[in-house]
């Protein structure tokens, strides 16, 4: 999967248009258009904006297209919290991650 396809995946998973994506990042719409068309490659500055704006995006996947396996339990696991069934929290979304580096987020309706 090319980097432009990974960016397209992020746009799609967040239900955005390329224009709305550019606006959220604070970049010119033509920058995103040129990347999605394959004319330009994204700059480091743009990649940083994507990672900071969409914190669920795996930076390693975005840059390389590879998904790191979490063999080392200390790596990548610090933000996970074990939820017991006795919590008062309400489930708001489910993130499905696939072996090809793509993901799908299911947003649950809020009442």
CATH number, domain of 15, equals 1.10.260.40
Position 39 in a domain: yes
Is 109 among the domain residues? no
Whether residue 31 is predicted with pLDDT greater than 80 in this model: the reply is yes
Q: Decide if 81 is inside a domain.
A: no
> Using alpha carbons only, what angle is made at residue 90 by residues 88 and 14, rounded to the nearest 5 degrees?
155
Range of the structural domain that residue 36 is part of: 3-66
In a domain, 85, yes or no: no
Q: Looking at the domain assignment, is residue 45 inside a domain?
A: yes
Domain tally, the chain: 1
Q: At what angle do helices 18-25 and 3-13 cross, to 10 degrees?
A: 90
| CA–CA dist 19, 100 (Å, integer) | 26
pLDDT tens for each residue of 51-79: 999 988 999 999 998 876 555 444 443 34
36 in any annotated domain: yes
- Asked whether residue 111 is domain-assigned, the answer is no
Q: Mean pLDDT across the chain, nearest whole number?
A: 81
Q: Do the domain assignments include residue 21? A: yes
pLDDT score for 82: 46
């Amino acid at each position: 999967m090319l980097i432009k396809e990974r960016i397209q995946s992020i746009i799609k998973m967040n239900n955005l248009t390329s224009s709305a994506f550019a606006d959220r990042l604070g970049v010119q719409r033509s920058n995103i258009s040129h990347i999605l068309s394959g004319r330009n490659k994204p700059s480091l500055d743009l990649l940083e904006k994507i990672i900071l704006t969409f914190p669920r995006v795996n930076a390693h996947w975005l840059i390389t297209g590879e998904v790191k396996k979490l063999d080392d339990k200390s790596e990548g696991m610090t933000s996970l919290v074990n939820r017991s069934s006795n919590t008062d929290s309400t489930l708001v979304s489910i993130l499905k991650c696939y072996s090809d580096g793509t993901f799908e987020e299911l947003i649950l309706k809020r009442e």
